[in-house]
Amino acid sequence: MIEVKNVSKEFIKIDNKKKKSKFLADDSVSFKVNDGEILGLLGPNGAGKTTLLRIIAGIMEPTKGKVIIADKDLKDNEIELKKQMAFLSGNTKLYKDISCVELLKMCAAYYKMDKNIIDKRINEVVKRFDMDSFKNQRIGNLSTGQTQRVGVSRCVIHDPHYYILDEATSGLDIISSQVILDFIKEERDKGKCIIYSTHYMEEAENICNRVVLINKGKVIAIGTPKEIEKETNTTNIRDAFFKLIGGAK
């Protein structure tokens, strides 16, 4: 289980006149994600989703609040917990001058995987994401869809329990997106704990057990898509979101 407790993140903004001002990217955000659940994190660009996910993934520190994973404080057990986590974002890029297999070997080494099982695990992952035809090609020579598959495969090489996925299907065609979405559902069914951020509301409605709507750094609703639609008296999450922020459709 992942528990986000009153997490706030403050940044310093510098305007054109070089005047500094503080702003909260995330403001007292709290929620829980259970094992065997996909929690959708929904909100427009600049809502604070990426910052929040970076905090949960342990690559940024919160200004206030804490993240508890498997009953352990992330701050005090960062390295240990990171070994069970996978972070995939549309922004994270891969090393272009190495092949998929070389990348997977490097990741396996960072995750301290047993040397005897690395090759076997790489073969499994290559097979799972249908990468056999390009596994020895340099990543820089692959198509966007192939690269994203390599990106996912590097996340799963160590068989993590916690997935933090930030707009993982952003910019992909429907076939490549479906490969990733199917994988996420499979992992959920295996009892894994998944946070899935997207600004595609319909996509979230289809795969998420529950969703957190976030706007301007604040949580504005939490629940199953049906519960939120019922509360807001709407028929879909998109309409519910606009109703909650009081904006136009």
Partner 1 sequence: MDWSNIKITIFKELRGIVRDKKSFHKLLLLPLLIPFIIFLFGFLSDFMENSNYDVGINYTLSKEEKEILKKYDNIDFKVYKDDKELKEAYDNGEISGYIIKNDINYIIYTDQSLNSGAMIDYYASTYLEEYSRLKANQYLVDNNIDPNLVFNSITYSSESLAEEETDSMFIVLLSLPITYVLMIVVMACVTVATDATSGEKERGTLETILTFPVNSSDLVTGKYLATAILGLAIGLFSYLLTLPSIYVCSYIFESFKDLTITINFKIIFLALIVIVISTLLSAGVCIALSGKAKTYKEAQSSLQFVSFLPMIPYFVKIMEVDNKIFNLVPIANCGMALNDITMNKFDMNSLIIIFISTIFYIVLILIYISKQYKSEKTLFG
Residues that bind partner 1 (CB under 8 A): 54, 57-61, 78-80, 82-83, 85-87, 89, 91-98, 106-107, 109-112, 154
Please, are residues 197 and 53 in contact by the beta-carbon 8 Å criterion? yes
Q: Alpha-carbon distance 132 to 198, whole Å? A: 29
Which is nearer to partner 1, 8 or 232 (by Cβ)?
Answer: 8
Give whichever of 12 and 174 is closer to partner 1, judged by the CB atom. Answer: 12
By C-beta, is 94 or 207 nearer to partner 1?
94
E strand or H helix at 128 = helix 115-128
Instruction: Work out how close the CB of 97 gets to partner 1 at its nearest, in angstroms, rounded to a whole number.
Output: 4
- Report in angstroms how near the CB of residue 55 gets to partner 1 at its nearest: 11
Residue 208 burial by Cβ neighbours in a 10 Å radius (0-12, 13-18, 19+):
buried
What minimum distance in Å lies between the beta carbon of 81 and partner 1?
8
Q: Which is nearer to partner 1, 80 or 186 (CB)?
A: 80
Smallest distance from the beta carbon of 34 to partner 1, in angstroms? 22
Contact 194, 184 (CB under 8 A): yes
Minimum distance of partner 1 from residue 125's CB (angstroms): 16
* Torsion sign (Cα): 174, 161, 38, 65: negative
Is the Cβ of residue 1 or residue 109 nearer to partner 1 in the bound state? Answer: 109
Q: Quick one: angle between helices 115-128 and 100-110, nearest 10?
A: 130
Q: In what order do the strands lie in the sheet with 85-89?
A: 85-89, 162-166, 193-198, 37-42, 210-215, 218-223
